[in-house]
Structure 1
Amino acid sequence: MGEIKRVTKTLIEYLKRPDLYPELGRKIIKNTLNRGNAVKGKDKTNSWATSKALSQKDTIKKLFGTDDFSFRQNYQEILNESFAKEKACPIKMGGAGALELIFYASEFTNAKNILETGVAYGWSSLAALLSLQKRNGTLYSSDMPYLGQNGDQFVGVIVPEKLKKLWRLFRFADKESLPKIFSENDIFDVIHYDSDKSYDGRVWAYNELYKHLRKGGVFLSDDIGDNSAYQDFCEINNIESTVVEFEGKFVGVFIK
């Protein structure tokens, strides 16, 4: 009964937002006709990822050429304040990911423009913004509203107010947000994907995002073990990806 109530509430919230009708249609198809695609190739990719996996620290040294791993020490006060904000938040969203990887990718590219899909509490946003503030850069974020959870007001809640002047947040599904973002900025130094986890959603997004990543830019994708979309994308495009094991999950990262 609780699940039915949640689905009904979410549907009602969708119906109040005509601008989200395209995503509603896609979700209906994904959860009915294409339901099996969510885990397509999962076993294959987990075997592939396990055989290649490195730690964050080893990956940062390998790709970005630095032994510096002092991110958490350097920003301890800000991170502690952000963890306190997460703890106080009444809505449960995705936790902090591989923050060092995002931060040092931004440092390596001397990033001025970063794009991310998926925000939740704003941990990846924070890691990117802490680097961007050094160059007065801009973070462009795509994040689907948290319909039915009363969570919209808490998206990005852990990001300090002083950093928000560098942040452009687009509250639509990726297929609506990304064209709006690309109309403002076309090329990015770092792209971080952490939104639609379905196979088809990833394939569409990877191909679209890759076109807007500059040569020498860094591409990161969370949760690549959910299905084989990331592995397939890399193989089709002859991309040699590094895989990071982080808290039992896999992150894909490569330099274009």
Structure 2
Amino acid sequence: MSEIARVLKTFIGYIKRPDLYPELGRKIIKNTINRGNAFKGKEKTHFWAAERAITQKEAISKLFGLEMDAFRKDYQEVLANAAQKEKDCPVKMGGPGALELLYYACEFTNAQNVVETGVAYGWSSLASLLSLTKRQGTLYSSDMPYLAQDGDQYVGYVVPEQLRTNWKLFRFADKESLPKIFAENAVFDVLHYDSDKSYNGRIWAYDELYKHLKKGGVFISDDIGDNSAYQDFCEKNRVDTTVVEYEGKYIGVFIK
């Protein structure tokens, strides 16, 4: 699909969904007036993240006092089935990230309630749900519809049916999904951010999510090297964060 065709299909998708008009307005502003802010401070934060980054294994040991090696062995069949489903999926979305980090964050907090932004195939959702279902906990997910491709039916595709009873999926932009989620549940054990990558989008969401994270809860944000939003947020709130390097990208994680 050409770039023009993709933009046109996305715009038509918005027009058909009045409930998404607020996000359409924000997208227009973001891609015109605020376009220069998307990568604000990227060079500064890339250096900041690189000089303090550790491995996922080191972070899990340092923060949670846990070893991560058992995860792949204990859930070998589930992960293999999920990988096959991704391979067979006709729509291409984001692949698996630092699954162990999410899983052991839930284990460390004995999580009952987790919120995530961004779902795609559902790899992160799967990691959280594998822990949450042990305690009949709930995962609340915010995920913007895939308007440029016919991908809505494949969101969360790798999550097995038996785990879905513990999952609530909100199909709006974060600014509409998160208030709905917080109206259902106000305090969370683990927060995972992996949606709007822009500076302004991150700053807004980080502040909102942080308010609803319990003391002793775990905050995780993917792709923090895209701009300086995460670094600026941590400095403003005097957060001593850990940075994880994973497959050439940086993840921020801290315990509140």
Q: What's the TM-score bracket when you normalise by the shorter of the two chains?
A: over 0.9
1:1-256 alignment runs, 5 A limit? 2-256=2-256
SS of aligned partner of 1:139: strand
- Give structure 1 stretches of 5+ with no counterpart: none
SS of aligned partner of 1:140: strand
Deviation at 1:67, TM superposition (A): 2.6
Distance 2:117 2:93 in 1: 15
Matched residues, percent identical? Answer: 72
Which whole-Å deviations, capped at 9, do the CAs of 1:168-220 have from their partners, x for residues lacking one? Answer: 00000000000000010000000000000000000000000000000000000
Structure 2 residue identity aligned to 1:52: R
8 Å Cα contact 2:55-2:245 kept in structure 1:
yes
Distance 1:69 1:41 in 2: 35
SS of aligned partner of 1:239: coil
Distance 1:92 1:214 in 2: 35
User: TM-score, with normalisation over the residues of structure 1?
Assistant: 0.99
User: TM-score, with normalisation over the residues of structure 2?
Assistant: 0.99
SS of aligned partner of 2:114: strand
Structure 1 residue identity aligned to 2:230: Y
SS of aligned partner of 2:134: coil
8 Å Cα contact 2:139-2:167 kept in structure 1:
yes
SS of aligned partner of 1:32: coil
Distance 1:66 1:84 in 2: 29
SS of aligned partner of 1:11: helix
Deviation at 1:148, TM superposition (A): 2.1
SS of aligned partner of 1:218: strand
Distance 1:165 1:234 in 2: 35
Distance 1:82 1:244 in 2: 24
Distance 2:195 2:146 in 1: 12
Distance 2:140 2:8 in 1: 31
Matched positions, count: 256
Distance 2:4 2:65 in 1: 51
Deviation at 1:68, TM superposition (A): 4.1
CA RMSD of aligned residues (A): 0.8
Structure 1 residue identity aligned to 2:167: W
SS of aligned partner of 1:92: coil
Structure 2 residue identity aligned to 1:215: K
8 Å Cα contact 2:68-2:100 kept in structure 1:
no
- Give structure 2 stretches of 5+ with no counterpart: none
Deviation at 1:70, TM superposition (A): 1.3
Deviation at 1:107, TM superposition (A): 0.2
Structure 1 residue identity aligned to 2:234: C
Deviation at 1:103, TM superposition (A): 0.2
Which whole-Å deviations, capped at 9, do the CAs of 1:26-73 have from their partners, x for residues lacking one? Answer: 001101111111110001001000011000000000000123421111
Distance 2:43 2:179 in 1: 33
Structure 1 residue identity aligned to 2:243: V
Which whole-Å deviations, capped at 9, do the CAs of 1:113-135 have from their partners, x for residues lacking one? Answer: 00000000000000000000110
